[in-house]
């Protein structure tokens, strides 16, 4: 045996076969943005639109390369086809994504992957103006499990929008109606993201109403917008109510916007409980503790000029009705500053106590260190007030400090004060119904 060793020949990387599974190839491309953004954060790079565009282009290129690796393999299993379709989708290759997902779904299978594949079919079928294929994919999605109301909403929106552009208003109405049904299913879960929930309800109802207006079915269009306002009060959502009311006023300028409040709310749902870091001149409580009283939640901020405009009215209502069952709660947040100087929560609490005295506000404040209450009530502008009746049901929303709305709020307070409280049997029945619903 010779006395020297043989040096091993290194493998040429260009000839190495990439045998990673299909799901790994997909996750490699799908997670690219997250990996790169993590690196950018470590480097403390400021946001750069050009860098973001470059990174997204790199992701598409990586997805295309991984798709090529997978596409050249023989005998792809159904799951491999699914991930191949997703890679083509990630790469922005509409033709191959559509073709691959069609193959994957040829036997009309059930399951989560199949449902996702149908959403991809709808997306690219609409882009290629293959509307009947998109509608068929939605129909198939509706026959299979599992179903996600947000996915169903998005698919119906794509088709409804296509019919809108084609000026086929009958089909626009049909699909917008199914959008709205999906949006309402989405809204049933109170854990849903509020902004997304409201956006879904608003877009579908507006698209539906617009379709009816195009067909000159004005009464039906009016009913759709009025129903959206009722739903906003029931949820409750200040933003949704405000947007629906603005749309109704623009579309039907002669409408009596206050008429809706003369009717008893049909849907009885319990408003969200308040979260508090501190209570000022008010013992900690739950809204459920106030059943039998009329409650006014006033969302405000110390820096808000229009909010201050409402203070005299709030103080007056408190004086007139506090012994008749009215409880006013001013709901606000720590903002970290006041009157041009930074403040700690402790300092801002002192400021709020002093602010309350200086403005002669006799009712209690609910203070939070987050925007959780704003979020739960859909409050994205202030001032905004929610009036809750003796049964614990939201009956009125004031979405501004306009004289018209403030006067209407005052009239509604008097109306609710004059309403009798429910008896104990009614309260227990309603409580059981609400518990079973949620």
Average pLDDT of the residues in 265-287: 88
Asked whether the predicted pLDDT for residue 3 surpasses 70, the reply is: no
Going by C-beta distance under 8 Å and a sequence separation of 6 or more, which residues neighbour residue 263?
none
In 3D space, the residue among 292, 309, 315 whose CA is nearest the CA of residue 383 turns out to be 309
Q: What is the mean pLDDT of residues 189-195?
A: 86
- At 4 the pLDDT is 38
Closest CA to 234 of 190, 289, 176, 177: 190
| d(C-alpha 29, C-alpha 64), whole Å | 9
Distance of alpha carbon 182 from alpha carbon 21, whole angstroms:
35
Instruction: Name which residue leads in pLDDT, 170 or 261.
Output: 170
Helix (H), strand (E) at residue 296: strand 294-299
DSSP assignment, residue 371? S
- Summarize pLDDT for 298-325 with one digit per residue, the tens: 999 999 999 999 999 999 999 999 999 9
Q: 394: which strand partners? A: 388
Tokens of 149: 């109301």
**Which residue blocks in 272-382 are alpha helix, DSSP H?**
305-321, 345-358, 372-376
How many Å apart are CA 22 and CA 74, to the nearest integer? 13
| Between residues 428 and 138, the one the model is more confident about | 138
Q: What is the pLDDT of residue 262?
A: 79
Confidence band of 6 (pLDDT split at 50, 70, 90): very low
Which pLDDT band holds residue 2 (cuts at 50, 70, 90)? very low
Quote the pLDDT of residue 269. Answer: 75
Can you say whether residue 395 is alpha, beta or left, with left for phi > 0 and alpha for psi between -120 and 50 degrees? Answer: alpha
Select from 1.10.287.3240, 3.30.360.10, 1.25.40.10, 1.10.8.640 the CATH code of 22-253.
1.25.40.10
Residue percentage of the chain with pLDDT more than 90:
87
Q: What's the pLDDT score for residue 12?
A: 54
Q: Which residues contact 373 (CB under 8 A, 6 or more apart)?
A: 272, 274, 275, 299, 331, 333, 366, 379
Q: Supply the angle between the helices 169-187 and 149-165 in degrees, to the nearest 10.
A: 160
Structure-token match 């149908």, residue found: 118
pLDDT of residue 364: 98
Q: What is the pTM of this model?
A: 0.88
Per the structure block, which two tokens stand in for 331? 């709901």
d(CA 283, CA 365): 10
Closest CA to 62 of 28, 19, 39, 112: 28
- What mean pLDDT do residues 240-266 have? 89
Reported confidence tier of residue 189, pLDDT bands at 50, 70, 90: confident
What pLDDT sits at residue 291? Answer: 96
What average pLDDT does this structure show over 141-160?
97
pLDDT of residue 436: 46
Q: Between 436 and 48, name the one with better pLDDT.
A: 48
Residue 7 pLDDT: 44
- The terminus-to-terminus CA distance of the chain in angstroms comes to 83
Q: Tens digits of per-residue pLDDT, 63-116?
A: 999 999 999 999 999 999 999 999 999 999 999 999 999 999 999 999 999 999
Q: Which of 340, 332, 338 is nearest to 314 (CA)?
A: 332
What pLDDT shows up at residue 308? 96
Can you read off the two tokens belonging to residue 340? 């041009």
15 pLDDT band, cuts 50/70/90, is low
Return the structure tokens found at 59: 């992701």
Question: What are the strands of the beta sheet with 394-398, ordered from one edge?
Answer: 278-280, 364-368, 326-333, 294-299, 384-388, 394-398
Residue 417 has pLDDT above 90, yes or no: yes
What DSSP element (H or E) covers 331? Answer: strand 326-333
Query: 278-437 is classed in which CATH architecture?
Result: 3-Layer(aba) Sandwich (3.40)
| Cβ(131)–Cβ(143) below 8 Å | no
10 has a pLDDT exceeding 60: no
Mean pLDDT of the chain: 92
In the chain, what are the domain boundaries? Answer: 22-253, 278-437
Which SS3 state, helix, strand or coil, does residue 409 take? helix
Structure confidence at residue 268 (pLDDT):
58
Residue 112's alpha-carbon distances to 89, 300, 386, in angstroms, are: 17, 44, 41
If 0-12 CB within 10 Å is exposed, 13-18 middle and 19+ buried, where does residue 421 land? Answer: middle
* Segment 13-22 mean pLDDT: 81
């Amino acid at each position: 045996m010779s006395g020297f060793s043989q040096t091993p020949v290194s493998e040429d990387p260009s000839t190495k076969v990439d045998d990673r599974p299909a799901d790994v190839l997909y996750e490699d491309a799908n997670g690219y943005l997250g990996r790169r953004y993590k690196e950018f954060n470590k480097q403390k790079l400021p946001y750069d639109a050009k860098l973001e565009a470059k990174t997204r282009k790199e992701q598409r290129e990586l997805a295309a390369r991984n798709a090529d690796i997978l596409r050249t393999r023989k005998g792809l299993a159904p799951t491999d086809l699914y991930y191949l379709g997703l890679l083509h989708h990630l790469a922005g290759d509409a033709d191959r994504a559509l073709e691959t997902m069609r193959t994957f779904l040829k036997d009309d299978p059930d399951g989560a992957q199949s449902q996702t594949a149908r959403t991809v079919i709808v997306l690219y079928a609409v882009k290629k103006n293959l509307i009947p294929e998109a509608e068929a994919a939605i129909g198939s999605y509706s026959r299979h499990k599992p179903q996600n109301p947000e996915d169903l909403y998005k698919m119906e929106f794509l088709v409804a929008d296509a019919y809108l552009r084609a000026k086929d208003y009958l089909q626009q109405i049909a699909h917008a109606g199914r959008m709205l049904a999906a949006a309402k299913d989405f809204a049933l879960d109170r854990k849903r993201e509020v902004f997304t929930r409201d956006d879904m309800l608003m877009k579908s109802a507006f698209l539906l109403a617009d379709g009816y207006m195009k067909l000159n079915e004005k009464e039906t269009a009016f009913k759709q917008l009025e129903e959206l306002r009722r739903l906003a009060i029931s949820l409750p959502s200040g933003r949704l109510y405000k947007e629906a009311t603005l749309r109704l006023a623009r579309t039907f300028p002669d409408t009596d916007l206050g008429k809706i409040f003369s009717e008893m709310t049909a849907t009885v749902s319990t408003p969200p409980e308040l979260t508090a870091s501190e209570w000022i001149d008010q013992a900690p409580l739950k809204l459920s503790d106030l059943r039998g009283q009329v409650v006014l939640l006033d969302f405000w901020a110390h820096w808000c000029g229009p909010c201050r405009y409402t203070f005299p009215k709030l103080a007056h209502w408190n004086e007139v009705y506090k012994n008749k069952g009215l409880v006013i709660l001013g709901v606000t947040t720590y903002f970290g500053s006041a009157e041009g100087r930074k403040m700690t929560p402790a300092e801002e609490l002192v400021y709020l106590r002093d602010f309350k005295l200086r403005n002669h506000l006799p009712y209690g404040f609910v203070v939070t260190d987050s925007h959780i209450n704003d979020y739960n009530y859909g409050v994205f502008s202030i001032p905004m007030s929610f009036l809750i009746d003796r049964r614990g049901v939201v009956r009125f929303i004031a979405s501004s400090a306009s004289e018209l709305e403030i006067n209407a709020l005052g009239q509604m307070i008097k109306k609710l004060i004059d309403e009798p409280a429910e008896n104990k049997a009614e309260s227990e029945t309603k409580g059981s119904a609400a518990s079973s619903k949620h």
